[in-house]
């Protein structure tokens, strides 16, 4: 049943995961915990109710430096970079010349550099892409000596602020340096679960100490990649390789909100021809949210039919929602079929299952909101 792969990478927490009873699976070239003793359902619900700690050190952390780093980087992404304030983070993508998504990631502007957190499975091609477009003028550094943890859930601020009170009011999608019991940490208020939470970058050599500090808090439980996937699906967030790939544009992926105002008017990034024309004329297909009527989960690859039984698209991500206790999915359908509340059918094991197109997120997010000063 289990793949035996000896040449996989290990994060600095590999032995810790095993000591916590994790089931380890190969993922994006790494030995990663898919769940611990309690299983995905309990880890998922614990994250929604309290706070969970995820090892996401397999993700790529990259720093870009150079005199023209902001303007040079601007040409690689549909987001505006020029108006990003220092220590602010933004979700964007690398696009190819056809407007397809090479990777999706978070970029943070720092005083003289940009920090990227990219998908594990994409880090080599991202690096090649960056080198092809920026080499010479920009210094590209892989932060391989840094681990990355995600502390996620409604109690994450309460837990983390015990050690560094200054992060309590850190705004959503901003970053700051802090000391956690003497450990230097770079903390952003962000995540992939739909909950309030933090992503914490620390030196590999400090990671285990930090994990011990955080998990000594009674409400913090470890959670694996299984719960990370069900949580992000409920939050309507895309998974690269499932919901996004090099043939899908940000407009098709319903990520138009991530395209910068300036870029929409003037282009100036890879694939801008295609993306701007799709903004004007509409894309051929579009990502939708799907709620199934029965109990059978529909997984990635399942065919989608319209009410009359004609094929209109394919499921890109799907599974059981632990919060809603029913199956949910995302998929791509032709633009004229992508209507809210439209009845559709999904083919699972040759049976037609009743389903409805609904809005995402499936579960209302609980991101931190700074109270507005009047």
Partner 1 sequence: MIKYTKQHEWVAINDGDEKAAVGITDYAQKQLGDIVYVELPGIGVKVNKGDEAAVVESVKAAAEVYSPISGEILEVNENLADSPELINNEAEANGWFFKLAPSEESELEELMDKEGYDKYIGGLD
Binding site for partner 1 (CB under 8 A): 1-2, 23, 34-35, 39-41, 44, 226, 230, 295-297, 299, 319-320, 322, 327, 349
Q: How far is the CB of 15 from partner 1 (least distance, A)?
A: 17
Q: How far is the CB of 233 from partner 1 (least distance, A)?
A: 11
Q: Which two tokens stand for residue 161?
A: 């602020």
Q: What is the number of other CB atoms lying within 10 angstroms of the CB of residue 8? A: 16
Distance in Å, CB of 297 to partner 1, minimum: 5
**CA 369 to each of CA 53, 86, 279: distance values in angstroms, whole numbers, following the listed order:** 21, 19, 30
DSSP, residue by residue, 115-129? EEEE-GGGHHHHHHH
97 touches 111 (CB < 8 A) = no
How far is the CA of 8 from the CAs of 11, 12, 31, 125, 144, in angstroms?
A: 10, 13, 6, 18, 15
Q: Toward partner 1, which CB reaches closer, 87 or 230? A: 230
Q: Nearest-CA neighbor of 267 among 68, 69, 72, 78? A: 78
Asked whether the bond before 361 is cis by omega within 30 degrees of 0, the reply is: yes
Nearest to partner 1 of 45, 335 (CB atom) = 45
Least distance from partner 1 to the Cβ atom of residue 58, Å = 18
Helix (H/G/I), strand (E/B), else coil: 359 = coil
Residues ≥6 apart with Cβ < 8 Å to 206: 183, 184, 185
Q: How far is the CB of 222 from partner 1 (least distance, A)?
A: 15
70: helix, strand or coil: helix
| Residue 156 and residue 195 in contact, taking contact as beta carbons nearer than 8 Å | yes
Nearer to partner 1, 34 or 160 (CB): 34
Would you say 88 or 299 has its CB closer to partner 1? 299
When the beta carbons of 94 and 320 are compared against partner 1, the nearer one is: 320
CA dihedral 294, 300, 301, 307 (to 10 degrees): 40
Question: Measured from the CB of residue 54, what is the shortest distance to partner 1 in angstroms?
Answer: 16
CB nearer to partner 1: give 92 or 230.
Answer: 230
Could you tell me the smallest distance in angstroms from the CB atom of residue 27 to partner 1? 12
Which CB, 4 or 308, lies closer to partner 1? 4
User: Which residue's CB is nearer to partner 1, number 237 or number 270?
Assistant: 237
**Other CB atoms within 10 Å distance of the CB of residue 158:** 15
The CB-of-121 to partner 1 minimum distance in angstroms stands at 18
């Amino acid at each position: 049943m289990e793949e035996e792969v000896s040449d996989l990478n290990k994060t600095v927490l590999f032995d810790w995961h095993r000591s916590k009873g994790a089931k380890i699976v190969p993922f994006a070239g790494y030995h990663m915990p898919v769940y611990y003793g309690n299983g995905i359902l309990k880890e998922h619900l614990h994250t929604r109710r309290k706070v969970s700690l995820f090892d996401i050190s397999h993700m790529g952390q990259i720093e870009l430096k150079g005199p023209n780093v902001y303007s040079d980087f601007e040409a690689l992404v549909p987001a505006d970079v020029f108006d990003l304030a220092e220590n602010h983070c933004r979700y964007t993508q690398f696009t190819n010349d056809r407007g397809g998504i090479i990777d999706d990631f978070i970029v943070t502007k720092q005083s003289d550099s940009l920090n990227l957190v990219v998908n594990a499975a994409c880090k080599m091609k991202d690096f090649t892409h960056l080198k092809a477009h920026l080499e010479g003028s920009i210094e590209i550094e892989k932060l391989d000596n840094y681990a990355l943890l995600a502390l996620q859930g409604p109690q994450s601020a309460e837990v983390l602020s015990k050690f560094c009170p200054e992060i309590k009011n850190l705004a959503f999608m901003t970053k700051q340096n802090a000391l956690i019991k003497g450990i230097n940490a770079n903390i952003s208020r962000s995540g992939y679960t739909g909950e309030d939470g933090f992503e914490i970058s620390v030196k590999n050599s400090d990671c285990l100490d930090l994990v011990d500090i955080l998990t000594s808090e009674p409400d913090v439980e470890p959670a694996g990649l299984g719960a990370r996937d069900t949580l992000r699906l409920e939050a309507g967030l895309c998974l690269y390789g499932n919901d996004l790939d090099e043939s899908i544009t940000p407009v098709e992926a319903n990520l138009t909100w991530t395209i910068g105002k300036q870029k929409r008017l003037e282009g100036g990034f890879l694939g801008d021809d295609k993306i701007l024309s799709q903004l004007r004329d509409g894309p051929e297909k579009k990502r939708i949210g799907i709620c199934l009527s029965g109990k059978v989960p529909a997984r990635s690859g399942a065919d989608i039919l319209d009410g009359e039984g004609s094929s209109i698209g394919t499921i890109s991500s799907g599974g059981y929602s632990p919060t809603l206790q029913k199956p949910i999915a995302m998929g791509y359908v032709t633009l004229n079929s992508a209507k809210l509340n439209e009845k559709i059918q999904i083919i699972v094991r040759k049976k037609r299952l009743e389903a409805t197109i609904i809005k995402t997120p499936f579960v209302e997010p609980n991101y931190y909101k700074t109270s507005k000063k009047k």
